Amino acid sequence: MQLAVTATETAAAPYAQALAEELRLEYLGVADSRNISSVAYVLECGGKLQLQATGRKAPGPILVDFVSGVAAHRRKFGGGKGQQIAKAVGMKGSFYPRVLDATAGLGRDAFVLASLGCEVQMLERNPVVHALLNDGVKRLQAAATSDPDLASIAARLKLLPRVDSAAAWLSQQPGESLPVIYLDPMFPSREKSAKVKKEMVAFHQLVGSDEDADQLMAPAIAACYYRTVVKRPRLAPWLAELKPNLALEGKSGRFDIYTRHGVPG
């Protein structure tokens, strides 16, 4: 994917230049993505960091937003601990397990778990996605200074330093040292809606499908204490062809659960 870095305003230029150097991408200066034709996508640095397709008819940007929009709506009206993801990680009563999201992506599930009361660590290997996550966490922390509800969530949500391989990182952890490990490897999307095509095609092109996802299973199960949870499309095969101890199915997806020790009642 052709990708460069731009600034939306002069004040953002120093950060944009530094980010371009860090990611080893071309810096195009202060520019409007609608007027760019030399690359297909840009990382726009301004009030927010966002991945934006270039050209006049480009769809909207991809960014990490933990403060407003979908994240805010789900935090307020998503169903609380009755959500399947809460049940999948073993949340019940006053038990809120510490979770490592080893394939954090845009951090949506990690934020949900943190908003429900879990301490969540996010691990991400793609450098561009990690930069988007880092920007989203910083804006959450800024908003948290004036919002007590967000402050408690921000205190529970942490982005770990970027790694080249989540499987290698997990392999280096002591056995049974992480209460719950959550995996949501990228799977080729079968969704045909125009919304997915317009809003997420850039992200899918950037990340691709995780061809090495099966390698996550053995080190994850070895490193977890309570369980490893794998989020999958409803009809997708088991990760690493390993049958789960139990599964929670929804309309379009499911959570495969690999248990080691029972969660407290």
List the binding residues for S-adenosyl-L-methionine.
108-109, 124-125, 184
Q: Which residue type occupies 222?
A: A
- Phi and psi (nearest 5°) for 168? -65, -40
Task: Report in angstroms the alpha-carbon separations of 199 from 60, 63, 161, 182, 236.
Answer: 6, 10, 27, 25, 23
Q: Which residue type occupies 216?
A: L
Report the distance separating Cα 194 and Cα 44, nearest Å.
24
Nearest of 28, 24, 22 to residue 44 by alpha carbon: 28
Neighbours of 140 (CB within 10 A): 23
Report the distance separating Cα 208 and Cα 19, nearest Å.
22
Q: Which residues are annotated as a binding site?
A: 108-109, 124-125, 184
The three-state DSSP-derived secondary structure of 2-57 is: CEEEEECCHHHHHHHHHHHHHHCCEEEEECCHHHCCCCCEEEEECCCEEEEECCCC
